[in-house]
Amino acid sequence: EAAVTQSPRNKVAVTGGKVTLSCNQTNNHNNMYWYRQDTGHGLRLIHYSYGAGSTEKGDIPDGYKASRPSQENFSLILELATPSQTSVYFCASGEGTISNERLFFGHGTKLSVL
Amino acid sequence: GDSVTQTEGQVTVSESKSLIINCTYSTTSIAYPNLFWYVRYPGEGLQLLLKVITAGQKGSSRGFEATYNKETTSFHLQKASVQESDSAVYYCALGDPGANTGKLTFGHGTILRVHP
């Protein structure tokens, strides 16, 4: 079964600090995604990637950067964290073919920015 | 853009009773979307429950069913007899095959609580 691992599972950060959320997949999938989930909003796409070296803006990219240094790893970076970025973040990988948009998700990272 | 609207908040059902979680979608794509139901059990990540990529067809998994209705732009999730182990958060999602990005647009999620 496909595996997506996120770290850390929980994170408390201070306002203005830098936060890096990491994601590793062993599926050899080309595409990777970062979503956040908030009450009343469901999952919203922040950034995604088509492969190593590629990053694309999703629907809510402001305040976030992404990095895809390899096929397996995809990081989400908050350079200056704000309390509004308190959320649960999910990483996912997918093959990205036209009809097979099955995504494999990690367990999520709960981030609290104080 | 694309959007998905599903039953809001929490649904509470007694064990062995039937369930329906409503889902309707909207898309600006010229292609018919691919439709999905994902589920998140307590302490786990989201996982695919079922998907349908052809209008008019029905998907099923673990006793759940959903039919892709392009006339009403709906993809409601149903189960005839729920179990306590079905308690989870359910998400309806839409994928645009024309975009070829693999991105999914999710609904807000519906919390299902099944009590014995």
Return the closest-CA partner of residue B22 out of B39, B37, B33, B7: B7
The whole-angstrom separation of Cα B104 and Cα A46 is 12
Region B34-45 average pLDDT: 92
Q: Do B103 and A58 touch (CB under 8 A)?
A: yes
What is the count of residue pairs from A and B with beta carbons less than 8 Å apart?
A: 70
Residue A97 has pLDDT above 70, yes or no: no
Q: What phi-psi label fits residue B3: left (phi over 0), alpha (psi between -120 and 50 degrees) or beta?
A: beta
| Percentage above 70 pLDDT, chain B | 97
Region B4-25 average pLDDT: 96
Tokens 């009809």 belong to A99
**Which of B46, B68, B105, B111 best tests the A interface by mutation, with the highest count of A CBs <10 A?**
B46
Q: Is A90 on the interface with B (CB under 8 A)?
A: yes
What pLDDT does A11 receive? 97
Residue B46 has pLDDT above 70, yes or no: yes
Q: Is B111 on the interface with A (CB under 8 A)?
A: no
Residue B6 has pLDDT above 60, yes or no: yes
What DSSP string runs through A40-60?
A: TTEEEEEEEESSTT--EE-SS
